[in-house]
Amino acid sequence: MYEDKTLVCKECGKEFVFTAGEQEFYAERGFQNEPQRCKPCRDARKNAARGPRDACGGEAKVPFEPKSDRPVYCSECFAKMREQA
């Protein structure tokens, strides 16, 4: 019933495949629009909206702009690291 479609990402302009399986998943969930972005751009957008996350998956709320070269820890992981030091 469904066939793979090649779409163009509105974020980066690269082509990506909207597979038959993905189309079926969208239909099952009642989604009517095809994806506008490729998977890497969707993931980047999702992660930017969430804010920084620790390796454990916990949300890390910090009162400063995190630097990309340094890790950000959730409160629990930060406390554990302080205990170990």
Expressed as residue numbers, the domain containing 20 is: 1-50
Domains in the chain, number: 2
Q: Are 40 and 56 in the same domain?
A: no
Q: Are 81 and 43 in the same domain?
A: no
So what's the pLDDT on residue 44?
83
Per-residue pLDDT of the chain (85 residues; tens, 9 = 90+): 899 999 999 999 999 999 999 999 999 999 999 999 999 998 888 777 665 555 676 677 777 777 767 777 777 888 887 887 6
Q: Which residues of 32-62 are buried (b: 16+ CB within 10 A; e: fewer)?
A: eeebebbeebeeeeeeeeeebebeeeeebee
So what's the pLDDT on residue 84?
79
Q: Are 40 and 59 in the same domain?
A: no
Of 75, 44, 43, 41, nearest to 58 by C-alpha is 75
Q: Are 32 and 68 in the same domain?
A: no
Q: Are 23 and 45 in the same domain?
A: yes
Q: Are 59 and 20 in the same domain?
A: no
So what's the pLDDT on residue 27?
94
So what's the pLDDT on residue 49?
63
